[in-house]
Amino acid sequence: QIDSARLWGTIHETAKFGATPKGGVRRLTLGPEDKQVRDWFRNACEAAGLEVHVDALGSMFGVRKGRDMSKPPVGLGSHLDTQPTGGKYDGVLGTLAALEVVRTLNDAGIETETPICVCNWTNEEGSRFAPAMMASAAYVGDFTTDDILSRRDAEGVTVAQALDSIGYRGDRPVGTQKFSGFVELHIEQGPILEAENKTIGVVDSGQGVLWYDGKITGFESHAGSTPMPLRRDALATLSEIVLAMEAIAKKHGPKAVGTIGEAVIANPSRNVIPGEIAFTVDCRSADAAIMDALDRDLRAAIAEIAARRKVEVQFDLIWRKPPTHFDPKLVDAVENAAKMLGYSHRRITSGAGHDACNLNTVMPAAMVFVPCKDGISHNELEDATQPDCAAGANVLMHTVLALAGV
């Protein structure tokens, strides 16, 4: 059994790095608050006897020796970056629970057969730089390190510059820390476990993701003197696209979602008809055929709207992550650990993306979910209970022990 109070303490101690007045956390990847929590985490890992190294994209790895150092370690962990208005648990729970597992094994004097490796993956959230789960995507070869290093945030800062500015561009080439498998604990970020009163979600699958960048070019014109029929209004165009996206996701529901989270009017003015808008789209389904249908329907709707409104819409797919099917053996290992510990549990699909989804494409991976209040995440009000967090950490520990061997 892990130390529930100690785990809870670290979650609340690190929540001060980027704490918001509403009780949430704003810790954008590779920003100054991220540096603070990374420094804290490195010290804590070293104090727990781990050998810490950092890769070229800033992902942090803390290795605990095993009896057989010829075998790659079992990986466990998550991420410490947050959304602009994020909560205290998303990513943090999984990373600090991994540290807590090591501390517990140390206290109990338990040695494992293979080494284990605590991970903090860079830019899981994807709000400052696209795509989400950026570093693990590069780890599995979906993108080259150079491609990722050159990506820019909204201010034009590259990943390379951001890494250098906080001193976290490591010397290890991406992908060189090998693993025999990876287990990630996370809050569910959805309402199912809470509704069914289950403590543990045994995650067997994850939704696929489509990310698009869009740009509408209409025509700026005077709000007072331009007759309604002559307008080529970029915001009215966007409005139709937003509602079409919503209707399409509902049509393919319940196994589909679609969101427009960003939309920026160029040179906005109260008495000017918007002439240009940049926007982004996030569509998901656990079913690859539905993902294809979402893409098709959305493109058709946008083409119709653009033609009718006589505006130009550029619409580019910038990321496609297929649905995830976690390794059956590892999923069973998670389920066995939950059973053994006597926690109520159910199989579940992840609505969110996770580094484990990327890693699963090159190694056996699995995930453990615990409930979060009202299913709320990506919100400063995100909440979870101490017993549920501890239960998740215990399942994580026993899954890792089963994989690493005692």
Ligand X SMILES: NC(=O)NCCC(=O)O
| Bind-site residues for Zn(2+) | 79, 90, 125, 186, 378
Q: Binding ligand X by CB under 6 A: which of 132, 148, 159, 366?
A: 132
Q: Which is nearer to a copy of itself, 126 or 392 (CB)?
A: 126
Q: Is 217 within 8 Å of 278 (Cβ atoms)? A: no
Q: Which is nearer to a copy of itself, 151 or 169 (CB)?
A: 151
Tokens standing for residue 156: 């034009």
Which parts of 268-287 interact with a copy of itself (CB under 8 A)? 268-275, 280, 282, 284
Instruction: Write down the least CB distance from residue 384 to a copy of itself, Å.
Output: 14
Instruction: Tell me whether strands 51-54 and 60-64 are parallel, antiparallel or unpaired.
Output: antiparallel
Q: What is d(CA 197, CA 344) in angstroms, rounded to the nearest whole number?
A: 8
- Residue numbers in the known binding site are 79, 90, 125, 186, 378
Q: Binding ligand X by CB under 6 A: which of 58, 66, 73, 126?
A: 126
With CA atoms as reference, report the closest residue to 323 among 364, 352, 280, 363. Answer: 352
Which parts of 202-231 interact with ligand X (CB under 6 A)? 222-224
Could you say which of a copy of itself, ligand X, none residue 228 binds, taking C-beta under 5 to 8 angstroms by partner kind? Answer: a copy of itself
- Using CB under 8 A, count the residues that bind a copy of itself: 72
List helix spans (H) across 109-187: 134-139, 145-149, 159-166
Could you say which of ligand X, a copy of itself, none residue 207 binds, taking C-beta under 5 to 8 angstroms by partner kind? Answer: a copy of itself
Backbone phi and psi for residue 399, each to the nearest 5 degrees, phi listed first: -65, -45
Could you say which of a copy of itself, ligand X, none residue 262 binds, taking C-beta under 5 to 8 angstroms by partner kind? Answer: a copy of itself
Cα 320–Cα 290–Cα 348 angle in degrees, nearest 5: 85
Please report whether residue 184 would count as binding ligand X according to CB under 6 A.
Answer: no
Which parts of 158-197 interact with a copy of itself (CB under 8 A)? 188-191
Which parts of 263-302 interact with ligand X (CB under 6 A)? 271
Which parts of 341-360 interact with a copy of itself (CB under 8 A)? 350-353
Could you say which of ligand X, a copy of itself, none residue 124 binds, taking C-beta under 5 to 8 angstroms by partner kind? Answer: ligand X
Which parts of 233-272 interact with a copy of itself (CB under 8 A)? 233, 235-236, 238-240, 242-243, 246, 249-250, 253-254, 256-265, 267-272
Could you say which of ligand X, a copy of itself, none residue 289 binds, taking C-beta under 5 to 8 angstroms by partner kind? Answer: none
Instruction: Write down the least CB distance from residue 304 to ligand X, Å.
Output: 28
Q: What is d(CA 67, CA 342) in angstroms, rounded to the nearest whole number?
A: 30
Tokens standing for residue 382: 């995100």
Instruction: Write down the least CB distance from residue 131 to a copy of itself, Å.
Output: 9
Q: What is d(CA 103, CA 119) in angstroms, rounded to the nearest whole number?
A: 15
Say which amino acid occupies 379.
N
- Buried residues in 372-381 as b, exposed as e (16+ CB within 10 A): bbebbbbbbe
Please report whether residue 124 would count as binding ligand X according to CB under 6 A.
Answer: yes
N-terminal to C-terminal alpha carbon distance within the chain: 15
Region of residue 361 (phi > 0: left; psi between -120 and 50: alpha; otherwise: beta): alpha
Which parts of 125-164 interact with a copy of itself (CB under 8 A)? 125-127, 130, 132
Q: Is 79 within 8 Å of 95 (Cβ atoms)? A: yes
Tokens standing for residue 252: 């393919």
Residue whose pair of structure tokens reads 């909440």 in the numeric block:
383
Residue ranges in contact with ligand X by CB under 6 A: 90, 124-126, 132, 189, 222-224, 271, 352-354
